[in-house]
Structure 1
Amino acid sequence: MGKFENDAKALLEAVGGKENVAAVSHCATRMRFVLNDDKKANVKAIENLSAVKGTFTNAGQFQVIIGNDVPIFYNDFTAVSGIEGVSKEAAKSAAKQNLNPVQRVLTMLAEIFTPIIPAIIVGGLILGFRNVLEGIGWEHLGQKVIDGVAQFTKSGDPIYKTIVDVSPFWKGVNDFLWLPGEAIFHFLPVGITWSVSRKMGTTQILGIVLGICLVSPNLLTNAYAVPEAIKEGTLKSFEFGLFSIPAVGYQAQVIPALLAGLSLSYLEIFWRKRIPEVVSMIFVPFLSLLPALILAHTVLGPFGWWLGQGLSSIVLAGLTGPLKWLFGAIFGTLYAPFVITGLHHMTNAIDTQLIADAGGTGLWPMIALSNIAQGSAVLAYYFMNRHNEKEAQVSLPAAISAYLGVTEPALFGVNVKYIYPFVAGLIGSGIAGLLSTSLNITANAIGVGGLPGILAIKAQYWLPFVLAMGVAIIVPFILTFFFRKAGILTKAEDEAKADYVATPATEEVVEVVKEEVTTGATVSILSPLTGEAKELSQANDPVFAQGVMGQGVLIQPSEGKLVAPVDATVSVLFPTKHAVGLVSTDGVELLMHIGMDTVNLEGQGFTAHVAQGDSVKAGDLLITFDIEAIKAAGYLTETPVIITNQDAFAPADLPNLPTSVVAGQALLAAVKK
């Protein structure tokens, strides 16, 4: 009998039987199913299996979290089911059958915008800092005087000097910071066209070239100067004798760049299929780039500009009109449901367009407040269930994650599951959104979500934003307690706890470790990487962020070398070489997962220096990996280092995070329970 044969049979039945499985694959920690009918999956029965640590659905895939033993479980599952597994890419392709056309478009938008969000966040922080330097007058610095005349506002209030008015040093800093600020926002179309080509699997350098052709500072009229140029008759143009094309730049424009990038990619895909490979290197790029460029400056660019400005005008009217309080209340309430459905990805494009057209966005502050509200609701749930180890291990990391801007662990792990915390969060978020629009709170750009979001808010709105944050923290926290005590919307939780039945453990092969470890004994774990160690809750993958797989730390590596953190045996080494499991001589089970979703690279950029079953000493080289290649492929390199047998060992002596770490230095300890 296989180690997980009984659980595998039960899982097959619980997912709706063989006929309901369109495709199945696995990664380092979980089984990934594409089901013909998601409604046939009995989630309660699945989560009651002893081998299962949790479930969730993402991008059309029903994922069952197993842990380090997932390769063994997968083999047992395929044996009892007779279903042959497929590659990760094939599973993702099959998963599209579970997405409607709107979801497919939103998924595409998410995959296009996600790689460029870090740059936009940095740009927002830079603009926020520059706003403090040049945009706020400080009374103690004295009144501003120009040509001997004191300056006043239209209402008669004095205008005070800013920091850059009195400090040459800070003026220099302010000017220097515009260098990356301009690169990020004025040249944003370059990032978008690159990301489109990356997503579509076409030639990325052509996407970059097309983006540059949309923002050329020498040949095109800057987008910000177009209205004035039209008024003064100085708009540049390309003259062709019988006709001319306006030479308009698309600095900071989102939709024109998106449409241009898609046209380039579809043209390239079209010509690849029709031009012989022997001459494709010559003709495919030419016949793709030139028509896309012509379309961009004649049809797609003007249409995209009109559409983008129309969309931002509608949203801006909602944010600033007489019913802005109602708009804020509705958007604040609905944003979390948007996250669940995937519609929230549309806000990235709207935010960016608002920044280009209006110099700031009022949507993003409400997004940050929604994250905080859902975090406060799950934090209240944690306090009510802190003595329940299973619930506490999920809810506390989920609360921290939401406060830092990642709400999926809170939404799917607790709030939506039990309903009443979700509703409490919606109410708090709606009230906070009402305040945000009523007080005209505006952000420079998309920022770090949750509590750190204040760094992206324009400095003059910091105090109003703090007030709105207070509402987003206090209201959901109190309402969650109130709903639970009053029995309002608590039926789902009551039924879940009443229906829970502990399933007997399946027969397992127990390996006897060579060294006996007594309760309270401490095992030192060294850092397997050089880089920056952070809280595990900051992981982008909700399974790791929630601590479902175990507790530990998250390391952002600066060197592509993974070494053994303990004397151990290599228990799991994936064929894709992106993850490795160890069992120390003391019995501590560790998982190190290099990057997020890097299983999709199918081993490219990874080199293993050990084999499964090898014995290693602390400091021995396990895997080398190409950080730049992983990033270029669009994947994160953050690496969870976790203790997976958390029933036997608990992490201790963690450093104050975040902190720099060097491979081989003490990182944390595992204490025997």
Structure 2
Amino acid sequence: MGKYKDSAEELLEHIGGSDNISVVTHCATRMRFVLNDPKKADAEKIENIDLVKGTFTNAGQFQVIIGNEVATFYNEFAKMAGVGDTSKDEAKVAAKQNMNFIQRLISHLADIFTPLIPALVVGGLILGFRNVIGSIGMFTEAGNFSFAMFGEENALTLVDISQFWAGTHAFLWLIGEAIFHFLPVGITWAISRKMGTTQILGIVLGITLVSPQLLNAYGVPGAEDIPFWDFGFAQVEMIGYQAQVIPAILAGFVLAYLELGLRKVIPNVISMIFVPFFALIPAVLIAHVVLGPIGWTMGSWISNVVYSGLTSSVGWLFAAIFGFAYAPLVITGLHHMTNAIDLQLMSEFGGTNLWPMIALSNIAQGSAVVAMIILNRKDEKEQQVSVPAAISCYLGVTEPAMFGINLKYVFPFLAAMIGSSVAAVISVGSNVMANSIGVGGIPGILSIQVQYMIIFFIAMIVAIVVPMLLTFALAKTKMGVNAYKRLGK
């Protein structure tokens, strides 16, 4: 008899039985269900199961928070329910049956950027570390540390006084450049992976967008002579699309749909030769002649609108709205769009004023959870969810905190939104810029441009203190009292 037999039986009953399960899989801490009829799942009864630490629905999946023992529990539950092992990709496909058009569109965007997140996070940390050793001057000419010289023009950096750190700084750029400048390769690969087409063709397409033969995208604005391919009857400019997001997305989908279409008309016996040939060459040509220029224009327009809005006289209003609304965007999945905008801002302006607000929002959500940890310090079951959730929030992953604690009570979620809004106004009002995206919580300060680090640190303190104080205050209001009554606490 299994260790989790009773809990598994209860979950199966309250989920609506085996017949209601279309697909089930698990991640590090959660069971992920795609249900034939989501209404049959009794979330309240499921949350009363001893092993269960919370439930929420996201991206068409009903998710049950189990904890670190989820893998063992999943195996026992799957055997009892008579459901087979299913991959996460299959679960995502099945989940789309519960999505509307907008949700499907956002899901597609998430499927493109989610595989790239580990590289983007590593790249952000690397650029942040280079920022610390190569841009922060805190040493005298004699090589002595002096915090009083922080930010002074004549202060020296670690790179200035140490050959080791100078070599490290130069070496780390090898990785940073590979991740951000050659990002189109990752995007076109991710699209081919998502569309089920030949991934190496996606990689080759991406390389043709950033080839060393082309004029680097960063050199285009001031270039007097742009090289070109001369076909006699037409000339095509040899422009690279380093760090460009939209041209890569457009090109990636053209290649994918060309390959899928050709598979339907070319016989299988010769498809290995002719499908890649007739898909890749037109895709590369279309990318450089049509989609590249169009995508560059679209990307520039979007980044200019965002940057101009945030640096205008009413930038504080944009910041207040974004800071307040970012957490709800995470719930809907719309936050994935900010990745593309951030990367475009980095390409156009050498930094992003959007990313600092995202980092502050994550910190604010974590701070609200910390307040709930203090308020509910005698609830051992909730501590098992809230403590890891707060830690992950401060490291940039907000979903466990939002779905496991803040949304369950509502008032801490509101407190975090308000705190995030106030912190965002401080950040944007002080023109804070980040060199890159990266870890979205407290370590995000490493990505902030040196001259803005102190004011961003102040914004971080606000994102910690305000949500905590508001959570304590709201817990005593009618909203807080009703939340505790609703949850039977």
Same fold, TM exceeding 0.5?
Answer: yes
Instruction: Give the Cα separation in 2 of the matches to 1:167 and 1:388.
Output: 52
Map of 1:182 onto structure 2: 177
Query: Within the alignment, does 1:456 sit opposite 2:438 as a pair?
Result: no
Bigger Rg, structure 1 or 2: 1
Query: Within the alignment, does 1:334 sit opposite 2:325 as a pair?
Result: yes
Map of 2:104 onto structure 1: 104
Q: CA deviation at 1:123?
A: 3.0
Instruction: Give the Cα separation in 2 of the matches to 1:449 and 1:438.
Output: 20
Percent sequence identity over matched residues?
59
The CA RMSD over aligned residues, in Å, is 3.0
Q: CA deviation at 1:110?
A: 1.8
Map of 2:145 onto structure 1: none
Map of 1:202 onto structure 2: 197
Residue 47 to residue 470, structure 1, CA distance change in 2 (3 Å): same
Tell me which of 206, 219, 241 is aligned to 1:225: 219
Instruction: Give the Cα separation in 2 of the matches to 1:481 and 1:426.
Output: 15
Map of 1:94 onto structure 2: 94
Larger strand fraction of residues: 1
Instruction: Give the Cα separation in 1 of the matches to 2:387 and 2:10.
Output: 31
- The alignment partner of 1:448 has SS state of coil
Equivalent pair of 1:123/1:185 in contact (CA under 8 Å): yes
Q: CA deviation at 1:133?
A: 5.4
- The alignment partner of 2:240 has SS state of coil
Amino acid at match of 2:123: G
Instruction: Give the Cα separation in 2 of the matches to 1:411 and 1:40.
Output: 24
Instruction: Give the Cα separation in 2 of the matches to 1:64 and 1:134.
Output: 45
Equivalent pair of 1:405/1:448 in contact (CA under 8 Å): yes
Larger helix fraction of residues: 2
Instruction: State the Cα deviation string for residues 376-411 of structure 1 (Å, max 9, x = none).
Output: 101110111111111111111111111111111110
Map of 1:594 onto structure 2: none
Instruction: Give the Cα separation in 1 of the matches to 2:106 and 2:236.
Output: 33
Amino acid at match of 1:377: A
Residue 405 to residue 51, structure 1, CA distance change in 2 (3 Å): closer
Map of 1:148 onto structure 2: none
| Equivalent residue pairs, number | 474
Query: Within the alignment, does 1:278 sit opposite 2:269 as a pair?
Result: yes
Map of 1:25 onto structure 2: 24
- The alignment partner of 1:497 has SS state of coil
Query: Within the alignment, does 1:375 sit opposite 2:394 as a pair?
Result: no
Map of 1:472 onto structure 2: 463
Q: CA deviation at 1:141?
A: 4.2
Equivalent pair of 2:59/2:333 in contact (CA under 8 Å): no
Query: Within the alignment, does 1:308 sit opposite 2:299 as a pair?
Result: yes
Instruction: Give the Cα separation in 1 of the matches to 2:331 and 2:258.
Output: 34
Equivalent pair of 1:31/1:74 in contact (CA under 8 Å): no
Q: CA deviation at 1:18?
A: 7.7
Equivalent pair of 2:53/2:385 in contact (CA under 8 Å): no
Residue 240 to residue 412, structure 1, CA distance change in 2 (3 Å): same
1:606-621 correspondence to structure 2 within 5 Å: none
Instruction: State the Cα deviation string for residues 243-276 of structure 1 (Å, max 9, x = none).
Output: 1112111011011011111111221222223222
Amino acid at match of 2:222: E
- The alignment partner of 2:220 has SS state of helix
Q: Which runs of 5+ in 2 are unaligned?
A: 143-151
Residue 487 to residue 100, structure 1, CA distance change in 2 (3 Å): same
- The alignment partner of 1:25 has SS state of strand
Tell me which of 465, 471, 482 is aligned to 1:491: 482
Instruction: State the Cα deviation string for residues 75-118 of structure 1 (Å, max 9, x = none).
Output: 4445xxxxx76844554322101112222222222222122233
Amino acid at match of 2:407: V
Q: Which moved more, 1:462-471 or 1:5-14?
A: 5-14
- The alignment partner of 1:34 has SS state of strand
Amino acid at match of 1:227: P
Q: CA deviation at 1:137?
A: 6.1
Map of 2:279 onto structure 1: 288
Instruction: Give the Cα separation in 2 of the matches to 1:307 and 1:267.
Output: 23
Residue 283 to residue 321, structure 1, CA distance change in 2 (3 Å): same
Q: CA deviation at 1:485?
A: 2.1
Map of 1:402 onto structure 2: 393
Residue 252 to residue 141, structure 1, CA distance change in 2 (3 Å): same
Equivalent pair of 1:268/1:284 in contact (CA under 8 Å): yes
1:23-172 correspondence to structure 2 within 5 Å: 23-27=22-26, 32-49=32-49, 52=52, 54-64=54-64, 67=70, 68-78=72-82, 87-88=86-87, 90-132=90-132, 135=135, 140-141=140-141, 160=154, 162-163=156-157, 170-172=165-167
Residue 332 to residue 54, structure 1, CA distance change in 2 (3 Å): closer
Amino acid at match of 1:228: G
Amino acid at match of 2:45: A
Instruction: Give the Cα separation in 2 of the matches to 1:2 and 1:162.
Output: 63
- The alignment partner of 1:468 has SS state of helix
Query: Within the alignment, does 1:268 sit opposite 2:259 as a pair?
Result: yes
Map of 2:351 onto structure 1: 360
Map of 1:256 onto structure 2: 247
Q: CA deviation at 1:200?
A: 2.0
